[in-house]
Amino acid sequence: MHLLHANFTREDESKRTLFLQSLRAAAHEITDEELEVLLESEWRSRLTAAWLIGFDRRDHFRDVLGDLLLASRLCFSGQGYCFALARFGTDEDAQHLAAYLDRYLRRPDCQYDQHWAISALLHIDSRSGSEHAARFLAPGGLWHQWNGAQYSPSPPGRFIYEL
């Protein structure tokens, strides 16, 4: 549950440091086969697998994570997919995030992982000098339309991808 909503960021520094060290060690130790099993399971396992993939920057999982994000079949696991794609940080990752936003920002009835996806896209843009998020954030763009239709609208946030 520390990974859900990046709850570990609310811990005091010593607890957060210990948690991140453990996560980093687990990311190095887990095999691809074990990650594949986790990605075929329920949302907690998928969330954990995606964070481990992102931590170890196993970008060969890029398309799998992008497909899972776009499908959005399980709650909360998309947070991990967005984290991993942001950590990889390439144009290919931005394309997966943009495809997700193109689909789900058109659905004001779906409050899924849009905040995570737009912040991941902003992170990639800030690192690469690209402007993938610009069309979503333009005045009257899809972000503003979707966000304005939410019960509690909020600006796109910046999540932690530099761990």
pLDDT of residue 161: 58
pLDDT of residue 10: 82
More confident residue, 68 or 7: 68
Please indicate, yes or no, if residue 20 is contained in any of the structural domains.
Answer: yes
Please indicate, yes or no, if residue 138 is contained in any of the structural domains.
Answer: yes
- Report the mean per-residue pLDDT for the chain: 91
> Is 60 exceeded by the pLDDT of residue 162?
no
Q: In the predicted model, what is the mean pLDDT of residues 77-82? A: 96
Q: In the predicted model, what is the mean pLDDT of residues 7-26? A: 88
CA-based Rg of the chain, rounded to a whole angstrom?
15
Residues of 94-128 as b/e, b for ≥16 C-beta within 10 angstroms? Answer: bebbbebbeebbeeeeeebbbbbbbbbbbbbbeee
Please indicate, yes or no, if residue 157 is contained in any of the structural domains.
Answer: no
Owning domain of residue 33: 4-148
Q: How confident is the model at residue 160 (pLDDT cuts 50, 70, 90)?
A: low
- CA 13 remoteness from chain centre: 23
Q: How many domains does the chain have?
A: 1
> Which pLDDT tens digit goes with each residue over 107-159?
988 889 999 999 999 999 999 999 999 999 999 999 999 988 886 667 676 66
Please indicate, yes or no, if residue 121 is contained in any of the structural domains.
Answer: yes
Q: Within 10 Å of residue 40's Cβ, how many Cβ atoms?
A: 10
Q: Are 105 and 138 in contact (CB under 8 A)?
A: no
Please indicate, yes or no, if residue 143 is contained in any of the structural domains.
Answer: yes
How many percent of the chain have pLDDT more than 90?
74
> Is 90 exceeded by the pLDDT of residue 25?
yes
pLDDT of residue 156: 74
Please indicate, yes or no, if residue 163 is contained in any of the structural domains.
Answer: no
